[in-house]
Amino acid sequence: MAVLPNDSRLFRNLGIYFWHKFEEACQIYNDVNTEFISSLEFSFGSSIKKVANFSNFIMMPFEFLEIPIPVGYEDILTGDYGDWHKYVIGTSMHGKMIINTEIPYTKYLRENYNNHYYQED
Task: Map out the domains of the chain as residue ranges.
Answer: 8-112
What's the pLDDT at 69?
A: 96
0.75 exceeded by pTM: no
Other residues' Cβ atoms within 10 Å of the Cβ of residue 72 = 18
User: How far is the C-alpha of 95 from the C-alpha of 82, rounded, in Å?
Assistant: 21
Instruction: Look at residue 92 in the predicted model and tell me its pLDDT.
Output: 66
Q: What's the average pLDDT block by block, 10 residues per block, for the chain (121 residues)?
A: 58 81 84 83 70 94 94 91 84 69 82 60 50
SS3 82: coil
pLDDT of residue 107: 83
